[in-house]
Structure 1
Amino acid sequence: AAAALFFFGWQAARLMTVCVATCLAAEWLCRRLMRRENSLGDLSALVTGLLLAFNLPPALPSWMAAAGSLFAIAIAKQVFGGLGYNPFNPALAGRAFLLISFTGPMTTWSASLIDATSTATPLGMVKEAFKAGAPAPFAMNGGLTLDFLLGNMNGCIGETSALALLIGALYLLYRRVISWHTPVAFLGTAALYAAVLHAVNPAASMPVHFHLLTGGLVLGACFMATDMVTTPTTPRGRLIFGVGCGLLTMVLRTVKSGAYPEGVSFAILIMNAFSPLINRATRNHVFGAAEAAKREPRR
C-alpha cells in the first residue's frame, strides 16, 4: 500500500478507499439480507478490497472500482456462503469481472508520479510488438531492470514494485501467514518457461527477469495464490497449484493472439477450480484405514 501511494499518490488512495468501503458495505448488507451473523470482524472484506484495488489501473473511475468490489463480495463470496465456502478468490473474480466488462478502462494506463509519461505497460508494449512481428520495443539494460524492480513503470497500483512486494511476502513468510510452496513453485515455473522460450528464440521473447519483474506475477504469486480458502491445503498440493499457475500465466502471456497481455488473474482463477481435486489427490492416506472403516460395526 505504501509503494502504491508513493508511485500513484491520490489515485491509489482513491481506489483503495472506494474498494475497501464498498467491500465492507457489501459484506454487511449481504449478511443482513441473508439473516446471518455479521462477519465484518474477520476483516476478510477489508483484505479483499485492498487486493482488488492493487489489481486496478490508477485512472479507473471510482464507480467501476465500486462495481468490481460489489461483485467480489456479493457474487464471488457471499452467494457461496461467505468466508470459507467461496471457490474462487473474490478479489481476482472482481478484477476478471471488470476486465471483461470494461476492457478499455481496465487497459488504459496513466503516468505514475515518478514517470510522467503515459504509455502502455511493459507487457502490453512487448506483446503488441511481437504480435506485429517487430522486435522488442526496449532492451533490458541495468537501468531499466532497476526501474522495474523498484516500480517505476506503468501498471496496476499494487503490482509495479517487485521489491516492495517481495519484502511484504518475506514478512508474511516470517509470520507464517503464508507458506513458501505456492510462491516458489509459481515463480519458478514461470522463470523456467521464460528461460526455455528465450533460449529457443531470443528475438521473439523476453528474458526471465523481464517476466518476473513486470505485470502482476509477484503480486499474484505471493498475495493472491496463497489465499487459504481457495487454494490447496497440503504442501504437495500447493506445489502443484503453483506449477499450474505459473504455466498458465506464461502461456497466456506469450500467446500472441491473446486479447490481454497479462495472464496471472485468469491463471489463478482457473487453478482455483482445481483446488478441491488437488486436495483430494494429495491428502495423506493412512494405510489400512479404509479397510478398517469398512469392518467397523455400525452403531
Structure 2
Amino acid sequence: MSPLETPDDRLQQAMRLVLLAMLPGLQSLLWFYGWGVLINLILCVTCALAVEAGVARLRGQALQPLLGDGSALVSATLLAVALPPYCPWWLTITAIAAGLLFGKHLYGGVGKNPFNPAMLGFALVIVMFPQPMTQWPAHGMALLDALQQVFNPAQVPDAWVQATALDSLRINKSLTIDELFAANPAFGRFGGRGMEWVNLAFLAGGLFLLQRRVFGWHAPVGMLASLFLVSLLCWNGSGSDSHGSPLFHLLSGATMLGAFFIITEPVSGAKNALARVLFGAGVGLLTYLIRTWGGYPDGVAFAVLLMNLCVPALERFALSRQKPVRP
C-alpha cells in the first residue's frame, strides 16, 4: 500500500472492489428473475444519489465527498439484490431512503453508523409492508410487463408469484423433504430454485474479496460455520418436520450475500479478530432461528441488526481474552 494513500482512497478502492465482486451474483439474479432486478438496481441507485445530494445540501457540504466514497452505491446495490424483483417502486425507494437516512446520516455519515444501512432499510420495509416483500416471482417478465408491474401494478397472477423455498419449508406440515423438492417449483437441487446458483455466485465474489484482502476471513467463516453446525445439529432427516439440511441453508436465501457482503461492513461490524468471529457466529445462529421458528422467510437482515447491537459487548469480551503484554 502506498504511504501517500489516504483512508478515503482506501475506502473508495474497497467499495469499487465490492461492487465488482457483486457482479456474478447480480448476473445470476438477472438470469433467473429478469428485468425486475435491473429495475430495482436503477431505482435504488437513483434514490441513493438523490438522498446523498439532499443531505449534502442540507449540511452545506460538497456533494463529491459523499458520493466519492462509494458507500451509498454499495448500500443501494445490496438492497437492490435483497428486495424481491418487481416489487412496487415506492417500496424500493422507501427502503433505500430509510436505510441511508436512519441507518447512516442520522448518526453523522460514513464511519459513525452503528447499524448496517442496507439491512436497516430492508428490515423497515418488511415490517411495514410484509405482503409485497413475500411476493417473489417464479420467473422473469418482458420489459414492458416488468415496468407495468413495478410502476402500475395490476392483479398479480397466482401462477407467477410463489413462496420462497425457505418460507415453503417453514410452513410445511405434511410433506417430506423429498416430496417438497419434487412437487414445489420453489426448490432446486440442493436449495431454493435459482438461489442456489445465486449463492454460489456471491460465494465466488466473496472469495475474490478475501483474496484481495478487502476484509478478513473471521466474520464469514464464523457465520457459515455457525449456520452449518446448528442446522446439522437440528437436522432430523427428510421427515415432514425437518428444518432442512445444512447444504439447504447454505444455498438458500441471502446466506452468501450476508456472509461476504453484509456482515463484513467495516463500520457496524466488529473490529477485533475474535469479536468478528463471534459476530459472524451470532448472525449464523440467529439466521437459523428466525428461518426456522420466526415469522419471516429469511433472517439475515434481522440477525445482522441484532448482532450490531452486540458489537460493543463483543469487543470488550475479546479484549478481556487477550493476554497482557509483559513489560
Name the TM-score class by shorter chain: 0.7 to 0.9
Q: Report deviation, 1:112.
A: 2.5
* 1:170 and 2:207 aligned: yes
Pick the aligned partner of 1:263 from 275, 279, 299: 299
Given that 1:166 and 1:218 are in contact with CA atoms closer than 8 Å, whether structure 2 keeps it comes out as yes
- Secondary structure at the aligned position of 1:250 is classed as helix
Cross-structure match for 1:112:
139
Q: Report deviation, 1:275.
A: 1.1
Supply the AA of the counterpart residue of 1:230. S
Given that 1:112 and 1:152 are in contact with CA atoms closer than 8 Å, whether structure 2 keeps it comes out as no
Distance in 1 of aligned mates of 2:303 and 2:227: 12
Cross-structure match for 1:187:
224
Distance in 1 of aligned mates of 2:129 and 2:221: 32
Percent identity between matched residues is 36
The correspondence of residues 283-298 of structure 1 with structure 2, limited to 5 A, is 283=319, 286-287=324-325
Cross-structure match for 1:242:
280
- Secondary structure at the aligned position of 2:34 is classed as helix
* 1:24 and 2:49 aligned: yes
Q: Report deviation, 1:278.
A: 1.4
Deviation string 1:108-144 (CA, Å, 9 cap, x unpaired) is 1112249x864211001111114xx55445248xxx6
Alignment RMSD (CA, Å): 2.5
Structure 1 unaligned spans of 5+ = 154-158, 290-299
Distance in 1 of aligned mates of 2:227 and 2:317: 24
Pick the aligned partner of 2:81 from 48, 54, 68: 54
**Matched residues, number:** 277
Distance in 1 of aligned mates of 2:262 and 2:189: 24
Pick the aligned partner of 1:138 from 180, 194, 200: 180
Q: Report deviation, 1:182.
A: 0.8
Supply the AA of the counterpart residue of 2:75. T
Distance in 2 of aligned mates of 1:288 and 1:214: 48
Distance in 2 of aligned mates of 1:233 and 1:253: 27
Given that 1:110 and 1:119 are in contact with CA atoms closer than 8 Å, whether structure 2 keeps it comes out as yes
Given that 1:23 and 1:46 are in contact with CA atoms closer than 8 Å, whether structure 2 keeps it comes out as yes
Pick the aligned partner of 2:107 from 48, 58, 80: 80
Cross-structure match for 1:101:
128
Structure 1 residues 55, 210: closer, same or farther in 2, change over 3 A? same
Given that 2:36 and 2:140 are in contact with CA atoms closer than 8 Å, whether structure 1 keeps it comes out as no
Given that 2:218 and 2:276 are in contact with CA atoms closer than 8 Å, whether structure 1 keeps it comes out as yes
Greater than 3 Å deviation, 4+ residue runs: 133-137, 144-149, 199-203, 283-289
What TM-score, normalized to structure 1?
0.85
- Secondary structure at the aligned position of 1:221 is classed as helix
Structure 1 residues 249, 223: closer, same or farther in 2, change over 3 A? same
Deviation string 1:202-221 (CA, Å, 9 cap, x unpaired) is 54221111111111111111
Deviation string 1:135-171 (CA, Å, 9 cap, x unpaired) is 445248xxx654748x625xxxxx8611111110111
Cross-structure match for 2:155:
none
